[in-house]
Homo-oligomer: A and B are copies of this chain.
Amino acid sequence: MSEVRWLNAEEQEIWRIYMTACNELSAHLDRQLRRDSGMPVAYYEILVCLSEAPGRSMRMSRLAELCRSSPSRLSHAVAALEKAGWVSRCLSETDRRGWVAQLTDAGFAALENAAPGHVTAVREHLFDVLSPGQLEALREISQAIFEGLDKAGRTPGPS
């Protein structure tokens, strides 16, 4: 029940520029991918995960875990990808509750078509504007933030 520790001007600026840069970068990449390949970044990441899996296929639950997606969100997304002909679904043979998503040939082709533009944009707007030291710092910073969230998530704390 202690007093709120408000942000001073400097802290507000850091907070604001951090969120702005990340959001604008996400938005830029999403527009690029939609325009050039007709898919949002979230769908691209699903296809990438599938393409790297053995047999280009994976259980829905495992896929959701890798993509940091809720089961519901993944279910909707895979339904859309199925409609586009990029993914197919079939019942798991070992556990009849489960479904296995598989990348189709058309899906793999779409991914091969989309990847160069996407990777080029990431390199241009992230790796080309930061020094090696800054990249290492960014990794450590991001890990600290992520671990802080993760810990709080597992231990239902104050916020």
Which residues of A approach B to under 8 Å, CB–CB? 4-7, 11, 13-15, 17-26, 28, 32, 68, 115-117, 119-130, 134-135, 137-149, 152-153, 158-159
Residues of B within 8 A of A120 (CB): 4-5, 158-159
Interface centre among A17, A117, A147, A158 (most CB of B within 10 A): A17
How many chain copies?
2
Point out the residue from B14, B125, B152 that lies within 8 Å of A145, measured CB to CB. B125
- A134: which of B19, B123, B130, B141 is its contact (CB, 8 Å)? B141
**Is B143 a contact partner of A21 (Cβ separation < 8 A)?**
yes
Is the pair B119, A6 in contact by a Cβ cutoff of 8 Å? yes
Asked if B5 and A123 sit within 8 Å, CB to CB, the answer is yes
